[in-house]
Amino acid sequence: MKPKKIPNISVDCVVFGFDTTTKSLNVLLINRYLESKDSNDILVDDYVLTGYHVYEDETLDESASRVLKEFTGLTNQYKKQFKAFGNPDRLTNPKDLVWIKSEAFNSRTITIAYYFLINTEDIDLENNTHYAKWFPLKQLPEIGFDHKEIIKEAHEDLKVKCLSEPIVFELLPDKFTINDVQDLYESILEIKIDNRNFRRKLINKKYIVPLNEKQVGVSKKPAQLYMFSKDVYEKIYQKNYLISI
């Protein structure tokens, strides 16, 4: 039996990925497409976040994980609930209203927003049935509902969070160079970081472990590869209360 949807409560997932080649922080979006039944005119053709109604028997966290799994096949990824969006007018622009009618959901829907951090190598988007695609955060396409605002707020939350916990490694392949980490921080924080300081600080962290391997298939001098050890991090980590008011 199909689970029953709660008609006015949904989850939306901002799925972040990092492209180490283009050094771009990306968001996974799905195509929202609707043709008129009479004329074949295109009524809606834009992009939205992965999301769906909450089912009656699941928690909000379970709902978000289910949505991620349905759209990407992935489970057990880093996720964070960061905000609920519920303005009365959040789904009331003309295209949204056409879409809502076709999907039979409540125009006063409150959505609980999550973000996920994904290693893009783990996803295969070829032949996916949802027309899901990565877009650079800096070059987003036309976006439906209030999802542009949701993406913006997810990014703001990620900026703060990535400075207090080593969550950026969720976005990298298992083996990475120090430059990859720097590129990633720079793309999240939208700043330039001093190269030498950063390298020295990072290499000194016990949980950044050098491997007996170097990059392969690069045109310049191959760089040393590292891994992030969550075990080491959790063992040595002591919450550092820096009164920084």
Give the span between the Cα atoms of 214 and 75, in whole angstroms.
30
State phi, psi for 203 to the nearest 5 degrees: -65, -30
Determine which residue in the list 36, 93, 164, 224 makes contact with a copy of itself, applying CB under 8 A: 164
Q: Which amino acid is at 239?
A: K
Q: Does 57 bind a copy of itself (CB under 8 A)?
A: yes
Q: Does 156 bind a copy of itself (CB under 8 A)?
A: no
Per-residue mark of binding to a copy of itself, 114-153 (x: CB under 8 A) = ----------------------------------------
Per-residue mark of binding to a copy of itself, 212-241 (x: CB under 8 A) = ----------------------------xx
Q: Nearer to a copy of itself by C-beta: 123 or 171?
A: 171
Minimum distance from CB of 62 to a copy of itself (Å)?
A: 9
Q: What single DSSP character describes residue 223? A: P
Stretch that binds a copy of itself, among 27-35, 38-46, 186-194, 214-222 (CB under 8 A): 186-194
Minimum distance from CB of 6 to a copy of itself (Å)?
A: 7
135 Cα distance to chain centroid: 11
Q: Does 1 bind a copy of itself (CB under 8 A)?
A: no
Q: Does 13 bind a copy of itself (CB under 8 A)?
A: no
Q: Which residues contact 118 (CB under 8 A, 6 or more apart)?
A: 15, 16, 17, 28, 72, 74, 77, 170, 171
Stretch that binds a copy of itself, among 30-38, 70-78, 82-90, 131-139 (CB under 8 A): 82-90
State phi, psi for 144 to the nearest 5 degrees: -85, 175
Dihedral, 198, 156, 24, 15 alpha carbons, nearest 10: 120
Q: What single DSSP character describes residue 55? A: E
Q: Does 54 bind a copy of itself (CB under 8 A)?
A: yes
* Site size with a copy of itself, rule: CB under 8 A: 40
99: three-class secondary structure by DSSP: helix
Contact 207, 229 (CB under 8 A): yes
235: three-class secondary structure by DSSP: helix
Q: Which residues bind a copy of itself (CB under 8 A)?
A: 6, 8-9, 54, 56-60, 81, 83-88, 108, 110, 112, 160, 162-166, 168, 185, 189, 191, 193, 198, 201-202, 205, 240-245
